[in-house]
């Protein structure tokens, strides 16, 4: 499944004319991406690294303050730094496993011999097409405590529903429900489905002849063969969850009482509402380190549980 | 690298057990569970549509009215009267289409460079490209904002904040790492003999890209176009940061603006908000239904890079 890179060209000192022309064309054609990378990714990252050590409010030029911004963040100078980080981790820690399990469950169901499988697949996929702003607005009304559909349904079975988005105890969970609705049946599920269809049926047939039940076949054959797909979805899903911002801004504005004030929301507020570009760049730096570290941890531990076909194990 | 047809259902259940009654019970249970789950996923749409068709008096009622006695499709027209939704629609279309064209052109050219030529630094560049696929955009959003503020002011005398430039230009310079990656994979699948034959016939590299590779990768180009269009249609954080005057808002900001409008005389407008949100989602859903196979292919290709 890994992308194959072609062998590096030989180390000839003097390239032939044709090779030199090929070299030129290569650079020329790839240049849109290369220029874009330096202009919109590498350059800004360097600038961000520098700005993280300054105080900058746009009106005045950046003023070098050394590590003051990082000290402020880490050692209590910012009342919302650690809480927003904690909330974000809590959110990701809940939503990634639930989301993956949900996507996998639906993919497994859709991989069975179902009637109207195309219809079901479409129904599960539709919520992921709704723009996040739109789904935040829709769910705000569904979650409305007095007249909303959800508390209406709960009342019909005799349960008094919570205040959902309007209560700091239930708001984070409510946002998770909105996010899960929009992601479980989406691309993660489709990728799982493609992975499931790559599991050779002969293995299943051989195992069932040997007397393995459906559950045993799933956990002993399907799941191990699916680990590269699971790994991919864990990495992508974790990064996406850590970035949670839009749904919180639109549905709760980070409230009530900061209960949905996530890290990127804090970054946005610091940079674009309080115009503290220097300190916000330090926050972006922290976020970058977190994402890189967590991805590295993921990759490191993947060696223990991800199985690639044709790979030899010691 | 071939993408497996996703419609194929696996034959996991062995034929030997087919005759048993427990097999039938299992089949029924499977359908019931799937249908129940599908119902849960679909219910929010149903309640939103129902709310969007209610009259103002039917909104604040408990328990909620499941379906309005007299559905009012006129609510959807009202949205365009109460807020400049037509303008928001036009803005979104202009931004999304212009950016998408840039993405497709730029990504095709860059992907050609990666797929068909050998140059020093290509492998390292491709690895960097892959790693930018997982780099969160939020990390560079502040310096990008400052750049679009300062650089045009220095060059042309006015800032690009509160213009569409920051939303469109990055698509025209760069093309999007994912799009470049996707098209490169497709170009690599085409035999090089095609290029060589064309070279012998005297075609230059531009000509080969334009008349040979691009026509053969039309489905891939469609996939890139769809994903790019959707991404710009749904984009919220960039317009939020760059735009502040209402007449430049795309739908994402327009909808939020509508949501935050102070209530006049406490007149309920949740039905109109529902209609507005559904109107914003509708083109995405239509695009999905008309272009379904490109969707699935694009998503599966994105999973293959893992």
Q: Which of A22, A118, A138 has the CB atom closest to B118's CB atom?
A: A22
Q: What does the buried/exposed string (b/e) look like for A150-167 if buried means 16 or more CB atoms within 10 Å of the residue's CB?
A: bbbbeeeeeeebbbbbbe
Domain contains B4: no
The residue segments making up the domain with residue B153 are 83-261
pLDDT band for A90, please (50, 70, 90 cuts): very high
For chain B, the residue count is 306
Among residues B77, B92, B109, the one where a domain terminates is B77
Domain contains B96: yes
Query: What domain count does chain B have?
Result: 2
Question: What does the mean pLDDT of chain B come to?
Answer: 86
Is the previous residue joined to A256 through a cis bond, with omega within 30 degrees of 0? yes
* CA-CA-CA-CA torsion sign (B190, B191, B196, B197): negative
Average pLDDT score over residue span B53-77: 87
pLDDT band for A175, please (50, 70, 90 cuts): very high
Q: What's the pLDDT score for residue A180?
A: 96
End-to-end Cα separation, chain A, in angstroms: 21
Q: B31 with B124, same domain?
A: no
Nearest residue to A26 via CA among B219, B204, B119:
B119
Q: Are B200 and B208 in contact (CB under 8 A)?
A: no
Q: What's the pLDDT score for residue B48?
A: 93
Contact A25 B132 (CB under 8 A): no
Q: Are B178 and B107 in contact (CB under 8 A)?
A: no
Q: B97 with B235, same domain?
A: yes
Give me the residue label for tokens 């979805």: A233
Contact B47 A45 (CB under 8 A): no
Q: 21-50 in A: which are within 8 Å (CB) of B? A: 22-37, 39-41, 43-45, 47-48
Share of chain B above pLDDT 90, in %: 47
Q: What's the pLDDT score for residue A278?
A: 93
Q: B92 with B166, same domain?
A: yes
Q: How far apart are CA A51 and CA A267, in angstroms?
A: 14
Q: B28 with B107, same domain?
A: no
- Paired tokens of A83: 């809480």
Domain contains B222: yes
* Burial (CB count <10 Å: 0-12, 13-18, 19+), residue A179: buried
Question: Which residues, at least 6 apart from A176, have a Cβ–Cβ distance to it below 8 Å?
Answer: A91, A94, A95, A98
Among residues B44, B59, B77, the one where a domain terminates is B77
CA distance B10 to chain A (A): 6
Give me the residue label for tokens 């709704």: A130
Q: Does A152 touch chain B (CB under 8 A)?
A: yes
Q: What's the pLDDT score for residue A312?
A: 54
Domain contains B10: no
Q: Does A200 touch chain B (CB under 8 A)?
A: no
ipTM of the complex: 0.86
Domain contains B191: yes
Q: B102 with B224, same domain?
A: yes
Q: B134 with B237, same domain?
A: yes
Q: How far apart are CA A209 and CA A24, in angstroms?
A: 60
Q: B141 with B209, same domain?
A: yes
What secondary structure letter does DSSP report for B270? H
Q: How do residues A179-195 score in pLDDT, each as one tens digit?
A: 999 999 988 998 899 88
Whether domain A71-305 has CATH 3.40.50.720: the reply is no
Q: What is the DSSP string of chain A?
A: -PPPPPPPPP--SS--HHHHHHHHHHHHHHHHHHHHHIIIIIHHHHHHHHHTTEE--SSS--EE-TTHHHHHHHTTSSTTHHHHHHHHHHHHHHHHHHHHHHHHHHHHHHTS--TTHHHHHHHHHGGGGS-HHHHHHHHHHHT-TTT-HHHHHHHHTT-----GGGSTTTHHHHHHHHHHHHHTTSHHHHHHHHHHHTS-HHHHHHHHHTT--HHHHIIIIIHHHHHHHHHHHHHHHHHHHHT--HHHHHHTTT-STTTT--HHHHHHIIIIIS--HHHHHHHHHHHHHHHHHHHHHHHHHHHHH---TT----
Share of chain A above pLDDT 70, in %: 93
pLDDT band for B16, please (50, 70, 90 cuts): very low
The CATH number of whichever domain residue B206 belongs to comes to 1.10.3720.10
Q: Any idea which of A12-21, A227-236, B196-205 has the lowest mean pLDDT?
A: A12-21
Contact A284 B138 (CB under 8 A): yes
What secondary structure letter does DSSP report for B55? -
Contact A45 B143 (CB under 8 A): yes
Q: B51 with B137, same domain?
A: no
Q: How far apart are CA B226 and CA B231, in angstroms?
A: 9
Q: B63 with B161, same domain?
A: no
Q: B68 with B95, same domain?
A: no
Q: What's the pLDDT score for residue A314?
A: 43
Q: What's the pLDDT score for residue A282?
A: 95
What secondary structure letter does DSSP report for B70? S
Q: B71 with B99, same domain?
A: no
pLDDT band for A289, please (50, 70, 90 cuts): very high
What secondary structure letter does DSSP report for B248? G
Q: What is the DSSP string of B195-237?
A: HHHHHHTT--HHHHIIIIIHHHTHHHHHHHHHHHHHHHHH--H
Q: B145 with B215, same domain?
A: yes
Nearest residue to B17 via CA among A193, A108, A113:
A113
A265 — phi, psi (to 5°)? -65, -40
CA distance A145 to chain B (A): 10
């Amino acid at each position: 499944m890994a992308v194959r890179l072609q062998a590096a060209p030989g180390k000839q000192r003097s390239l032939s004319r044709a090779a030199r022309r090929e070299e030129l064309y290569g650079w020329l054609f790839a240049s849109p991406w290369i220029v874009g990378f330096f202009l919109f990714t590498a350059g800004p990252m360097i600038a961000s690294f520098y700005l993280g050590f300054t105080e900058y409010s746009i009106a005045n030029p950046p003023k070098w303050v050394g590590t003051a911004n990082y000290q402020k963040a880490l050692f209590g100078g910012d009342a919302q730094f650690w809480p927003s980080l904690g909330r974000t981790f809590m959110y990701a820690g809940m939503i990634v496993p639930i989301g993956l399990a949900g996507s996998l469950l639906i993919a497994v169901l859709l991989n069975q011999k179902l009637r109207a499988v195309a219809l079901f697949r479409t129904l599960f996929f539709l919520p992921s097409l709704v723009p996040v702003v739109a789904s935040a607005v829709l769910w705000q009304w569904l979650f409305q405590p007095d007249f909303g559909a959800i508390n209406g349904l709960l009342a019909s079975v005799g349960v008094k529903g919570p205040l959902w988005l309007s209560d700091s105890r239930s708001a984070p969970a409510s946002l998770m429900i909105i996010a899960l609705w929009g992601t479980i049946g989406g691309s993660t599920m489709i990728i799982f489905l493609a992975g499931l269809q790559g599991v050779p049926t002969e293995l299943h047939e051989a195992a069932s002849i040997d007397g393995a039940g459906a559950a045993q076949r799933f956990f002993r054959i399907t799941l191990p063969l699916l680990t590269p797909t699971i790994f991919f979805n864990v990495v992508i899903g974790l990064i996406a969850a850590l970035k949670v911002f839009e749904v919180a801004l639109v549905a709760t504005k980070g409230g009530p009482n900061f209960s949905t004030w996530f890290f990127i929301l804090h970054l946005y507020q610091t940079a674009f509402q309080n115009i503290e570009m220097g300190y916000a760049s330090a926050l972006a730096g922290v976020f970058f380190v977190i994402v890189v570290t967590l991805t590295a941890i993921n990759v490191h531990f993947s060696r223990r549980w991800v199985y690639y076909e044709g790979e030899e194990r010691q | 690298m071939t993408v497996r047809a996703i419609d194929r259902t696996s034959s996991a259940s062995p034929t030997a057990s087919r005759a048993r009654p427990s097999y039938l019970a299992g089949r029924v249970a499977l359908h019931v569970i799937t249908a129940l789950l599908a119902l849960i996923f679909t219910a929010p749409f149903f309640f939103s549509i129902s709310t969007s068709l209610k009259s103002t008096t039917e909104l604040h009622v408990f328990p909620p009215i499941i379906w309005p006695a007299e559905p009012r499709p006129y609510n959807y027209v009202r949205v365009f009267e109460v807020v400049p939704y037509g303008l928001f629609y036009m803005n979104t279309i202009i931004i999304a289409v212009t950016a998408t064209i840039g993405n497709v052109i730029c990504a095709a050219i860059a992907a050609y460079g990666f797929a068909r030529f050998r140059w020093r630094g290509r492998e390292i560049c491709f690895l960097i490209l892959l790693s930018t696929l997982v780099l969160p955009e939020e990390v560079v959003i502040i310096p990008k904002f400052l750049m679009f503020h300062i650089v045009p002011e220095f060059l042309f005398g006015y800032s690009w904040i509160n213009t569409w430039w920051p939303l469109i230009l990055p698509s025209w310079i760069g093309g999007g790492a994912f799009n470049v990656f996707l098209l490169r994979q497709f170009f690599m699948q085409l035999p090089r003999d095609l290029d060589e034959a064309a070279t012998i016939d005297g075609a230059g590299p531009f000509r080969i890209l334009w008349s040979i590779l691009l026509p053969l990768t039309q489905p891939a180009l469609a996939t890139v176009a769809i994903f790019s269009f959707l991404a710009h249609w749904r984009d919220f954080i960039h317009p939020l940061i760059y735009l502040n005057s209402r007449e430049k808002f795309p739908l994402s900001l327009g909808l939020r603006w509508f949501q935050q409008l102070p209530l006049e005389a406490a007149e309920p407008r949740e039905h109109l908000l529902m209609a507005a949100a559904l109107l914003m989602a509708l083109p995405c859903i239509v695009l999905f239904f008309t272009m379904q196979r490109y969707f699935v292919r694009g998503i599966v290709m994105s999973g293959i890079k893992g």
